[in-house]
Amino acid sequence: GAVVSQHPSWVICKSGTSVKIECRSLDFQATTMFWYRQFPKQSLMLMATSNEGSKATYEQGVEKDKFLINHASLTLSTLTVTSAHPEDSSFYICSGGSGAYEQYFGPGTRLTVT
Amino acid sequence: QKEVEQDPGPLSVPEGAIVSLNCTYSNSAFQYFMWYRQYSRKGPELLMYTYSSGNKEDGRFTAQVDKSSKYISLFIRDSQPSDSATYLCAPGLDDKIIFGKGTRLHILP
């Protein structure tokens, strides 16, 4: 149980375009979903926390107008990277659960912006 | 001082050896302590969590927390090649986890 999926697993896009990443909890309802970004050989950095039906809470330094998060249901959250640039290339990981101490991670999405 | 520090490794040990992975943290307010395992290009997988100082054992894994020293350890007994991964320590406070950069572990067959 407690499986989280992400789609796509890898995406390449051109600079200036927008990319949407989906995060789904397959066998449980995630009241809270987290979005992380991980650069090579770096730690996971929390970008934002979202609760179903509410606006996401963004961490300091994360541009909420650039990284749009929608948590429309208890099983689906989306992250849209708007006007992506090469510096946005990273590994984006979502997790879902009932709280930070009980969260299940997705397999991640590798974004490459050319 | 960084909030969570881990030796990045890589740490290479022969199969069957006992592995010791360590982590220090700076915020004495952290309430719970987790260890995650992350295989290359995959999401983290929770291995252990504990709320207090002392030891917690689960199979071949033992997590040890010393709040007075702000020191966290993970021990792996009878290490297997499948244990080769990056291990992330992650102390947490309220609803937020702070991840270390992780220690890369290679178990040599």
pLDDT score recorded for residue A102: 78
Chain B nearest C-alpha distance from A105 (Å) = 6
pLDDT one-digit tens code per residue, A11-26:
999 999 999 999 999 9
Q: What is the pLDDT of residue A47?
A: 96
Query: What phi and psi, each to the nearest 5 degrees, are found at residue B83?
Result: -80, -5
- CB-CB neighbors (< 8 A) of A4 in chain B: 43
Given an 8 Å threshold on Cβ–Cβ distance, is A106 in contact with B43?
A: yes
What pLDDT is attached to residue B41?
A: 83
Q: Is any Cβ of chain A less than 8 angstroms from the Cβ of B71?
A: no
Residue B77 pLDDT:
97
Q: Which residues of chain B have pLDDT under 70?
A: 1
Q: What is the pLDDT of residues A47-56, one digit of tens each?
A: 999 888 888 9
Condensed to tens digits (0 to 9), the pLDDT of residues A60-95 reads 999 999 999 998 888 999 999 999 999 999 999 999
For residue B37, what is the nearest residue in chain A, using CA coordinates? Answer: A105
| φ, ψ of residue A87 in degrees (nearest 5) | -70, -10
Phi-psi region of B70 (alpha: psi -120 to 50; beta: other; left: phi over 0): left
Torsion of CA A56, B29, B57, B48, to 10 degrees: 20
Judge whether residue A1 has pLDDT over 70. no
Q: How many whole angstroms separate alpha carbon B9 and alpha carbon B86?
A: 9
The number of angstroms, rounded, from the C-alpha of B88 to the middle of its chain's C-alpha atoms is 5
Q: Is A105's Cβ below 8 Å from some Cβ in B? A: yes
Cis check for the bond before A40: say yes or no (omega within 30 of 0).
no
Residue A31 vs residue B103, higher pLDDT:
B103
Find, in chain B, the residue whose alpha carbon is nearest to that of A103. Answer: B46
Cα A52 to Cα A26: distance, rounded to the nearest angstrom: 15
Cβ contacts below 8 Å, chain A against chain B, sum to 47
**pLDDT value, residue B1:** 64
